[in-house]
Amino acid sequence: MLQVLPNLHPIVVHFPIALVVVAIIIDIARLFRNKDVWLNRTAVLLYSLAAVGAIAAYVSGQAALETVSIPAEARSALSAHESFALYTTGSLVTYGLIRIILVSLEVKQSIQNLFILPALGIIFLVYVTAYRGGELVYRHGVGVASVRTNDTLLANSLPSTLPTIDEDGNFFWRMDENSWHYFPIVFHPLKGADAISPASNNYLTNGDTTLSLALLRDTPTMWVTGGYIENVQLTASINYTNMNGIFGLLYNVIDVNNFDFVFFEENQLSLGRSENNSKRIFDTKTIDLLGWSRIKVVSADGHYYAYVDDRMISHWHAPAGLPGQTGIYARGTGTLYLSEWIIEEI
């Protein structure tokens, strides 16, 4: 069974839902049997178990993010599901503790009856959280093995030479021997940053044709492309084995001093934001980035993710960035190789 399920979240998540529903039913029933103290204690026990189950569901949900592929169109639903899951878990834990205290202090039943009202609000949070989770599975196919994601469809249908924009304004570009002609057209340097020179394409050991970007001076280089997007998923296939220095993917780029970023330097990934040229690092992770890597960065309603080869490396919460462009950052010398560039608005 565990070979079929990509993670434990689908198993764990149903327990707190069932426990809360039964607890509320018992709570309402005891309104008509006010002298039956055992009903109240049973309800409190179920709320407490539901709170523990909600914590387990939230933790397993966070772990599940590392085991499933999230298409761009599902990111908004994922952010909502995760946010409501956090609200629900916090509410259930707080509510469970309050009910335990009331029972422990033997507060009058008439007063304890008033606390059934907040439970109705919690059941609403549970409903919205579950609805958003179901939307991820049944509408977007997240965690369903048979669903073909956009990336799979694009790999089989898109031309590799010319940049392609679909009907939703999403941008796709896979490189071939002529791509270096298009780089200066597709990308433009930010004012205040150094230039980067596209070289003729190279065939690396994996046989792919790639766009070579020559770094001639150890100065900051920033090239951007695309429209101004607030919630975005940026995917790039990168090889910077022959580069010495820092490489990064940029999004929510306003200008050379204001942008969100995921930087790679030696064996460290840094997720953060530059505001008025003051860089704030949200999260750092140790990672070996050798050879070709498919890097994905996501900005979705204050949720920030970084993936390497479909494995989530970093996840952080911060105020949503302003709508901006996406781009490449490099500081160092050597050659940076690019074989895929995909911008998808969420």
**What confidence tens digit (pLDDT) does each residue in 191-236 have?**
777 767 666 555 555 556 788 888 888 888 899 998 899 899 999 9
> Cα torsion at 160, 161, 164, 170 (round to 10°)?
60
Q: Does 24 fall in a domain?
A: yes
**Contact between 341 and 173 (Cβ < 8 Å):** yes
pLDDT per position as a tens digit, 148-190:
444 443 444 344 467 888 877 789 988 877 777 788 888 888 8
307 in a domain, yes or no?
Answer: yes
CATH of the domain at 211: 2.60.120.560
Tell me the average pLDDT across 280-301: 91
Residue 100 and residue 17 share a domain: yes
Choose one of 77, 110, 139: the last residue of a domain.
139
Domain encompassing residue 325: 150-345
Q: Are residues 341 and 200 in the same domain?
A: yes
Tell me the helices (H) and strands (E) count for the chain, helix number first.
8, 15
Radius of gyration for the chain, computed over Cα atoms and rounded to the nearest angstrom: 25
Cβ–Cβ < 8 Å for 346, 244: no
Torsion of CA 79, 83, 88, 90, to 10 degrees: 150
Q: Are residues 229 and 330 in the same domain?
A: yes
Statement to judge: residues 223 and 252 lie in one domain:
yes
Same domain, 255 and 116: no
